[in-house]
Amino acid sequence: MAKETVEVPITGKIISVDVKVGDAVKEDDVICTLESMKMENPILAPVDGTITEIQVTVDQVVKPGEAIAVIEY
């Protein structure tokens, strides 16, 4: 199976994590929500698959390129 790492696109703070390890996701499902510059930005699954890792928590400040989750497909 292949793996896809979902990365942080912009600096901000994680305000919700909407999936957990083992969850099946479809392309464009919301994985988490990132607040940046007072705007809420949903982070979407790029592929259909299963969440195998979650590497962020609520209230965590993140920077571009950091891993959010890993999806196995």
Band of the pLDDT at 73, cuts 50, 70, 90? very high
Q: State the chain's mean pLDDT as an integer.
A: 98
CA distances from 2 to 6, 31, 38, 48, 73 (A): 13, 18, 35, 11, 5
Assigned fold of 3-72:
OB fold (Dihydrolipoamide Acetyltransferase, E2P) (2.40.50)
Question: What's the confidence (pLDDT) of residue 33?
Answer: 98
- Report pLDDT digits (tens) over 38-64: 999 999 999 999 999 999 999 999 999
pLDDT band (50, 70, 90) for residue 37: very high
Where do the domains of the chain lie?
3-72
pLDDT at 65: 98
